[in-house]
Structure 1
Amino acid sequence: MPDLRTVLATASGRVRLPAQAGGALAIVAGVVLVLLDVDAVGSALTGAGVVLLVVALVGTFLGPAVHAEPLLLAPPVEGRWEALNSPTSKVPSHGTHAYGQAYAIDLIAAPEGVPRPRFGEAGGSFLPPDRFPAFGRPVLAPADAVVVRAVDRMRDHRSRSSWAAYGLFFLEAIPREALGPTGVLGNHVVLRLADGTHFVLAHLQAGSVAVRRGERVVVGQPLARCGNTGNTTEPHLHCQRQDTASVFTATGLPWTVRGGLPANGAVLATQAEAGASTEP
Structure 2
Amino acid sequence: MRRAISRLKPLWLLPVLLGVTLGVLGVLGAVPDFVRSVPSMVLLVVIALGALLSGVHPKADEHEPHVMASPVRGRWAALNTPGQQLPSHGSRFLGQYAAVDILQPATAATPAKVRKAWRGSRPQEYPSFGAPVYAMAPGVVTRTWSRSRDHRARNTWQALLYMMTLEGALRTLGGQRAIIGNHVIVHHDDGTAAVYAHLRTGSVVVGVGQRVDAGDPLGEVGNTGNTSEPHLHVHLMDRPNPNAAAGLKMTWANIARPGEIEPSLAEIAKEPAENAVLSMPRNGEIFEA
TM-score normalised over the length of structure 1:
0.80
Deviations 1:173-208 (A, max 9, x none): 233233310111110000001111210000000111
Is the 8 Å Cα contact of residues 65 and 102 (structure 1) preserved in structure 2? no
2:13 aligned residue: 21
Is the 8 Å Cα contact of residues 103 and 232 (structure 2) preserved in structure 1? yes
Q: Percent same amino acid among aligned pairs?
A: 36
The separation in 1 between residues aligned to 2:78 and 2:5, in whole angstroms, is 27
Shift of residue 129, structure 1, vs aligned partner: 0.5
Q: Quickly say closer, same or farther: Cα 1:216–1:115, change in 2 above 3 A.
A: same
The separation in 1 between residues aligned to 2:237 and 2:145, in whole angstroms, is 18
2:155 aligned residue: 161
The separation in 2 between residues aligned to 1:26 and 1:173, in whole angstroms, is 17
Q: Quickly say closer, same or farther: Cα 1:67–1:23, change in 2 above 3 A.
A: farther
Task: Give unmatched runs, 5+ long, in structure 2.
Answer: 23-30, 256-278
2:281 aligned residue: 262
1:173 aligned residue: 168
Is the 8 Å Cα contact of residues 97 and 252 (structure 1) preserved in structure 2? yes
Classify the secondary structure of the residue corresponding to 2:241: coil
Shift of residue 97, structure 1, vs aligned partner: 1.3
Alignment of 1:70-85 (within 5 A): 70-85=65-80
1:247 aligned residue: 242
1:51 pairs, out of 49, 52, 69, with 49
The separation in 1 between residues aligned to 2:118 and 2:287, in whole angstroms, is 28
Shift of residue 244, structure 1, vs aligned partner: 2.6
| 1:231 and 2:223 matched | no
The one-letter amino acid paired with 2:143 is R
| 1:215 and 2:213 matched | no
The one-letter amino acid paired with 2:221 is C
2:184 aligned residue: 189
Q: Quickly say closer, same or farther: Cα 1:223–1:115, change in 2 above 3 A.
A: same
Is the 8 Å Cα contact of residues 103 and 231 (structure 2) preserved in structure 1? yes
The separation in 2 between residues aligned to 1:114 and 1:74, in whole angstroms, is 30
Shift of residue 90, structure 1, vs aligned partner: 1.1
2:37 aligned residue: 37
The separation in 2 between residues aligned to 1:175 and 1:235, in whole angstroms, is 20
Q: Quickly say closer, same or farther: Cα 1:32–1:87, change in 2 above 3 A.
A: farther
1:151 aligned residue: 145
| 1:141 and 2:135 matched | yes
Shift of residue 24, structure 1, vs aligned partner: 2.1
Q: Number of matched residues?
A: 255
Task: Give unmatched runs, 5+ long, in structure 1.
Answer: 1-6, 271-280
Is the 8 Å Cα contact of residues 140 and 223 (structure 1) preserved in structure 2? yes
The separation in 2 between residues aligned to 1:159 and 1:65, in whole angstroms, is 34
Deviations 1:32-65 (A, max 9, x none): 78745343xx6435314313323434x36xx866
The separation in 2 between residues aligned to 1:189 and 1:108, in whole angstroms, is 18
TM-score normalised over the length of structure 2:
0.78
The separation in 1 between residues aligned to 2:113 and 2:226, in whole angstroms, is 16
2:110 pairs, out of 113, 116, 123, with 116
1:127 aligned residue: 121
Instruction: Compute the RMSD of aligned alpha carbons.
Output: 2.8
The one-letter amino acid paired with 1:47 is V
Classify the secondary structure of the residue corresponding to 2:286: coil
Deviating more after overlay: 146-155 vs 102-111: 102-111
Is the 8 Å Cα contact of residues 65 and 91 (structure 1) preserved in structure 2? no
Shift of residue 121, structure 1, vs aligned partner: 4.7
The one-letter amino acid paired with 1:110 is P
Shift of residue 126, structure 1, vs aligned partner: 0.7
